[in-house]
């Protein structure tokens, strides 16, 4: 079941990232600029945030298997529309819808957390999240390779077929899981909005994750333009193979789950934030070295994955009856940071180039590290800080 959930999470969340290696092709095909093309990534992430806030809380209110099947069916249709899109505006609309319904990945993570006993929840979530994070990282490689051989439309149409198959498979394989609340939907939404006030740890972990994911998104949105530009002259296949390097960072996810189970969330979070800043220092020095750029990609991916696993472990422990709602707020903050980072990164790259982008990328995690230093420390005999 853990393997199935990990694969399903990876396949679903990949829909948010297929477009990143395609931005150069989309710019040429639709006659749009770099910043305009970047709005496709931004709008997909905005859709995901919307889905986290209005759809994922339903995981506490409705039977999860039915909810997952319904959302995947809508995702299938949206991706098919994207594949046949006659213009960029239609593609944007389809991306918004597919982004919103791809929150199935987070419903499945919550499902896995509810199946696991308390003492191993971090490791189970880490294993499922390793599938999700591998999907994020490999999506760029798959997208670039498919686009180079069959065109960018084949990427979306192929994913539509995969989502249809996944909907049928999960419907057949997942056991039913009873709702954890009988509150009316509007009460569920109201309680979701109140959660950051009720649980300050949720707000703190969400801000950590938003910061790290913003620079992650800025890096992966702009690096295709660097690699296909005059310095490296990479094809889309070359960009896809470069993206494959970042997938090595997914190996840290199970370890991060173990660190969370051992109460090491706070110190490891500080190390991850420092690693994110270091990644952009390396990227700034490696503007003409693909090896240094690859090292930077691995570091920034490791930082995102580590903070994500630690954050979700902390959040799931706050209230077992509200795990879907807690996760919806956490991931909504996460992807809000990603959407901001995508758009801001594209704008900075347009105006200040790769050097300006790397300065931005190093500054954000350093500021977040200063905020992390204000977190309450654990006294002997007390639970680990969240």
pLDDT in tens, 39-48: 898 889 889 8
First-last CA distance in the chain: 29
pLDDT in tens, 165-174: 999 999 998 8
pLDDT in tens, 70-124: 999 999 999 999 999 999 999 999 999 999 999 998 888 877 777 777 777 777 7
Q: Which token pair is 82?
A: 């994207």
Pick 210 or 37 by higher pLDDT: 210
Predicted confidence band at 191 (pLDDT cuts at 50, 70, 90)? Answer: confident
Task: Kindly report whether the global pTM for this prediction surpasses the value 0.85.
Answer: no
Q: What is the mean pLDDT of the segment spanning 152-177?
A: 92
User: Residue 380: its pLDDT value, please?
Assistant: 35
Q: Which token pair is 7?
A: 């694969």
Predicted confidence band at 144 (pLDDT cuts at 50, 70, 90)? Answer: confident
User: Residue 384: its pLDDT value, please?
Assistant: 39
pLDDT in tens, 219-233: 988 898 888 888 888
User: Residue 356: its pLDDT value, please?
Assistant: 95
> How far apart, in whole angstroms, are the C-alpha atoms of residue 97 and residue 197?
29
Distance of CA 37 to the CA centre of its chain: 19
pLDDT over 90, % of the chain:
40
> How far apart, in whole angstroms, are the C-alpha atoms of residue 121 and residue 141?
30
Phi, psi torsion values for 263, nearest 5 degrees: 80, 25
If you search the block for the tokens 């994500």, which residue do you land on?
308
Pick 334 or 277 by higher pLDDT: 277
> Which of 11-20, 82-91, 151-160 is predicted least confidently?
11-20
User: Residue 253: its pLDDT value, please?
Assistant: 67
Q: Would you say residue 382 has pLDDT above 60?
A: no
- DSSP-derived letter for residue 87 is S
> How far apart, in whole angstroms, are the C-alpha atoms of residue 113 and residue 317?
10
pLDDT in tens, 192-218: 888 999 999 999 999 999 999 999 989
Q: Would you say residue 350 has pLDDT above 70?
A: yes
Domains and CATH numbers, the chain: 2-372 (1.20.1250.20)
Three-state DSSP at 229 gives coil
Q: Which token pair is 368?
A: 């977040």
Q: Give CA angle at 90 (219, 10), nearest 5°.
A: 45
């Amino acid at each position: 079941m853990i393997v199935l959930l990990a694969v399903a999470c990876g396949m679903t969340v990949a829909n948010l990232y297929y477009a990143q290696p395609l931005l150069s092709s989309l710019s040429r095909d639709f006659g749009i600029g770099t910043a305009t093309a970047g709005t496709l990534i931004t709008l997909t992430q905005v859709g995901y945030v919307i889905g986290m806030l209005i759809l994922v809380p339903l995981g506490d209110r409705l039977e999860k298997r039915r909810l997952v099947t319904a959302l995947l069916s809508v995702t299938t249709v949206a991706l098919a529309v994207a594949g046949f899109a006659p213009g960029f505006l239609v593609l944007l609309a389809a991306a918004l819808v597919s982004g919103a319904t791809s929150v199935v990945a987070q419903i499945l993570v919550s499902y896995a957390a509810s199946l696991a006993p308390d003492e191993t929840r971090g490791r189970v979530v880490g294993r499922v999240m390793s599938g999700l994070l591998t999907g994020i990282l490999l999506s760029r490689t798959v997208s670039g390779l498919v686009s180079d051989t069959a065109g960018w439309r084949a990427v979306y149409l192929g994913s539509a077929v995969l989502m249809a198959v996944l909907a049928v498979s999960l419907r057949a394989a997942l056991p039913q899981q009873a709702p954890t609340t009988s509150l009316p939907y509007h009460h569920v939404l109201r309680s979701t909005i109140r959660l950051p006030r009720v649980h300050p740890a949720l707000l703190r972990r969400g801000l950590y994750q938003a910061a790290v994911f913003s620079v992650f998104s800025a890096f992966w949105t702009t690096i295709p333009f660097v690699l296909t530009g005059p310095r490296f002259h990479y094809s889309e296949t070359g960009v896809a193979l470069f993206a494959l390097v970042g997938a090595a960072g997914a190996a840290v996810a199970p370890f991060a789950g173990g660190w969370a189970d051992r109460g090491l969330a706070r110190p490891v979070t500080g190390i991850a934030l420092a690693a994110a800043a270091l990644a952009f220092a390396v990227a700034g020095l490696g503007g003409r070295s693909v090896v240094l750029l690859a090292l930077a990609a691995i570091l920034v991916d490791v930082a995102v994955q580590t903070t994500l696993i630690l954050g979700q472990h902390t959040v799931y422990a706050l209230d077992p009856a509200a795990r879907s709602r807690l996760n919806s707020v956490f991931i909504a903050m996460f992807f809000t940071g990603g959407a901001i980072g995508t758009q801001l990164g594209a704008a900075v790259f347009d105006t200040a180039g790769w050097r300006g982008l790397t300065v931005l990328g190093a500054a954000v995690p350093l500021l977040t590290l200063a905020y992390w230093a204000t977190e309450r420390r654990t006294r002997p005999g007390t639970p680990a800080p969240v």
